[in-house]
Amino acid sequence: MVERNSGKRRLIVGMTGASGCIYGIRLIEELLAGGWTVHLVVTEAGWRVLKEELGWETARRAAALERAFGTALTDGSLHYHPNGDIGASIASGSFRVQGMVIAPCSMGTLSAIAHGSSNNLLARAADVMLKERRPLLLMPRETPLHAIHLENMLTLARLGVQIVPAMPAFYYKPQSMEEMIDFLVGKVLDSLDIDHDLYRRWGDDQHGAGTPNSNRGD
């Protein structure tokens, strides 16, 4: 007998040592607010970036997550998995999730995924997304990019991985850093077909409808 839809909506969020950890934090906030269950994996370098960029006290990681996300850890809507726990639920394809986002994604992690090097939980969970044909979205944050970076992205794109670089737009005239962050998080949610109202879409204002031509060369 086919089990009735339980209504559970699970997403894995990974965070690495690339700059831009605020993207992952805002994404988690929005997912939790939307009723999603989030399975979180943070690399050691990712924890260091959280300390350096957001001032988190990372010596007590559960406490840091509680300060950031309130009761999500205790009510079961947020599950934190240490990156060394290769036996965690998300390491298995039999554990059902709707997809995975790594935001931000370092070039090292991107390379590990592109080459099938599942030497930690984050890389293994991403490998599971590939083998199970589930949505996998990476937000790389590096500049400039050399040929190896680009070739690894192309390898993953050919496998169906969504590459959403941390490139904010300016056509909607952002007035704050928060608006620029929300734009990128909104683009991630768009790629996962998750409704949101984090930014004003082109054509949704008084200037009329239309689509900006991002390929123009003038």
For position 205, what pLDDT does the model report?
A: 62
Kindly list the structural domains of the chain, giving each domain's residue range(s) and its CATH number in brackets, ordered by start.
Answer: 10-169 (3.40.50.1950)
The per-residue pLDDT for 20 is 97
Coil, strand or helix at 124: helix
Spatial distance between the Cα atoms of 178 and 183, rounded to a whole number of angstroms:
9
DSSP classification of residue 49: H
- Residue at 13: amino acid letter: V
List C-alpha distances in Å: 37 to 13, 126, 165. 10, 17, 24
Lowest mean pLDDT among 138-142, 184-188, 199-203: 199-203
| Average pLDDT of the residues in 30-58 | 97
* DSSP secondary structure, 19-46, as one string: S-HHHHHHHHHHHHHTT-EEEEEE-HHH
pLDDT band at 171 (very low <50, low <70, confident <90, very high): confident
